[in-house]
């Protein structure tokens, strides 16, 4: 017992002050990419060819689909003009799929869920996570929000064991053919009204597994999505920021 108390004193208080204070991120952290089409040379498609997940389109104007991006730097290395660069901005969650297609420096961040939903779910959001073929990276960095440093429950958001206790689903992974049935059954078991969050490149577009015969290329092929959180995996700060936007704790 004494050693537990002693260790407790040494460990101290570790919960971060977010959202009042944002923890610092290291220099090499890759946040939201920014694209600047004015730098493009006519006919150049070096970035699009280098991109491993076909996230970049140069047919009309340069655009980058954040939902497909795995944050690998291949485009940055390929572009001689620096038309694509990573920023340090960890905020990336949006409400609609189209908002993830970047063609300039900015991004329209997610808004609070609608009034009707907010009245029912806004103050205590219970989520059931369904891992539908993820590599486990997205799940691990979601789980981190339950550790003492992040302490997700102080915001009234919790992960629950049963879909019957949940207000919505948080889906990770590209939705493998073999998980499709279980995902749909779990969704059906969540009482209405309900929301769905697609977390990570896989759940949004198939990510690294896009195009594989064994997957569905993301959850929005099967379910209506209320919040998209891009990344591979998204940093816990990105996930928390997205969740808090959805419940209106951050505007």
Partner 1 sequence: MAAAAYPSRGLVLRNGDDASLSDLPVLKPEDFTAWVLDGRARGGRLAQLFGRRAHDGGVTVYAFVAYDADGVVEVSATHLGAAHGFGRLEYPSISEQWPAAQAFERELAEQYGVTPLGHPWLKPLRYHATDTGAPAPWGPFDANKVIPGDYPFYRVEGDEVHEVAVGPVHAGVIEPGHFRFQCHGEDVLHLEIMLGYQHRGAEKLLVHPNRTRGAIVAETIAGDTSIGHATAYCMALEALAGVAVSARAHAIRGIALELERLANHVGDLGALCNDVAFLPGASYLGRLRGDFLNLTLEICGNRFGRNLVRPGGTAFDISPSLSDTLRKRLEALQPEVLDVLDMMFSQSSVLARFEGTGALSEQQADEIGLVGPAARACGCTRDVRQDFPFGMFQFSHIPVANETTGDVYARAVVRWLEVQRSIEFLLEHMGTKPAGGTFAPMRTFRPNALAIAMCETWRGEAMHVAFTNAAGDLDFVKVKDPSIHNWFGLALAMRGTPISDFPLCNKSFNLSYAGHDL
Q: Applying CB under 6 A, which residues contact ligand SF4?
A: 134-135, 137-138, 172-173, 200-202, 207-208, 232-233
CB of 170 to ligand SF4, least distance (A): 12
CB of 59 to ligand SF4, least distance (A): 26
CB of 31 to ligand SF4, least distance (A): 16
Among 35, 48, 131, 197, binds partner 1 (CB under 8 A): 131
How far is CA 13 from each of CA 16, 17, 147, 151, rounded to the nearest angstrom?
9, 11, 12, 12
CA–CA separation, 48 and 175 (whole Å): 26
Total residues contacting partner 1 by CB under 8 A comes to 65
Residue 187 interacts with partner 1 (CB under 8 A): yes or no: no
238's contact among partner 1, ligand SF4, none, with CB below 5 to 8 A by partner kind, is: none
**Is there a contact between 174 and 206 (Cβ–Cβ < 8 Å)?**
yes
**Is there a contact between 97 and 228 (Cβ–Cβ < 8 Å)?**
yes
Q: Which is nearer to partner 1, 10 or 192 (CB)?
A: 10
Helix (H) or strand (E) holding 125: strand 125-131
| C-alpha 153: how far from chain center | 19
Q: Which residues pair with 65 in a beta bridge?
A: 101
Q: Which is nearer to partner 1, 118 or 159 (CB)?
A: 159
63's contact among partner 1, ligand SF4, none, with CB below 5 to 8 A by partner kind, is: none
153's contact among ligand SF4, partner 1, none, with CB below 5 to 8 A by partner kind, is: none
Phi, psi of 196 (to 5 degrees): -135, 135
CB of 234 to ligand SF4, least distance (A): 8
Residue 120 interacts with partner 1 (CB under 8 A): yes or no: no
CB of 116 to partner 1, least distance (A): 28
Is cis: bond before 116, omega within 30 of 0?
A: no
Q: What is the per-residue burial (b if ≥16 Cβ within 10 Å, else e) of 39-72? A: ebeeebbbbbebbebebbbbeeebbbbbbbbbbb
User: Cβ contacts of residue 200 below 8 Å, gap of 6+?
Assistant: 134, 137, 138, 172, 173, 207, 229, 230, 231, 232, 233, 234
CA–CA separation, 237 and 98 (whole Å): 23
Residue 193 interacts with partner 1 (CB under 8 A): yes or no: no
Residue 147 interacts with partner 1 (CB under 8 A): yes or no: yes
The SS3 of residue 121 is helix
Q: Which is nearer to partner 1, 95 or 186 (CB)?
A: 186
Q: Which is nearer to partner 1, 156 or 208 (CB)?
A: 208
Binding site for partner 1 (CB under 8 A): 3-4, 7-8, 10-11, 14, 25-26, 28-30, 50-53, 70-74, 128-144, 146-149, 159, 161-163, 173-174, 176-179, 181-182, 186, 207-209, 212-215, 232-233, 235
């Amino acid at each position: 017992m004494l050693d537990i108390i002693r260790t407790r004193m040494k460990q101290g208080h570790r919960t971060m002050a977010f959202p009042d204070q944002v923890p610092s991120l290291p220099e090499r952290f890759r946040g939201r990419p920014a694209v600047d089409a004015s730098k493009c040379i006519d006919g150049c498609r070096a970035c699009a060819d280098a991109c491993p997940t076909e996230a970049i389109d140069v047919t009309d104007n340069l655009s980058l689909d954040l939902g497909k991006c795995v944050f690998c730097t291949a485009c940055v290395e390929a572009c001689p003009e620096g038309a694509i660069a990573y920023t340090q901005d960890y905020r990336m969650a949006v409400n609609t799929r189209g908002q993830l297609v970047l063609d300039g420096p900015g991004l329209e961040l997610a808004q609070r869920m609608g009034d009707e939903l907010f009245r029912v779910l806004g103050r205590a959001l219970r989520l059931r996570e369904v891992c539908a073929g993820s590599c486990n990276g997205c799940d691990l960095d979601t789980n981190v929000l339950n550790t003492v440093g992040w302490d997700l429950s102080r915001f009234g958001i919790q992960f629950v064991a049963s879909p019957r206790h949940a207000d919505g689903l948080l889906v990770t992974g590209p939705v493998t053919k073999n998980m499709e049935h279980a995902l749909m059954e779990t969704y059906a078991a969540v009482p209405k009204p309900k929301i769905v969050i697609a977390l990570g490149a896989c759940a949004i577009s198939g990510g690294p597994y896009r195009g594989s015969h064994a997957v569905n290329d993301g959850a929005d092929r099967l379910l209506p999505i209320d919040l998209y959180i891009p990344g591979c995996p998204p940093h816990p700060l990105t996930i928390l920021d997205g969740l808090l936007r959805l419940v209106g704790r951050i505007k």
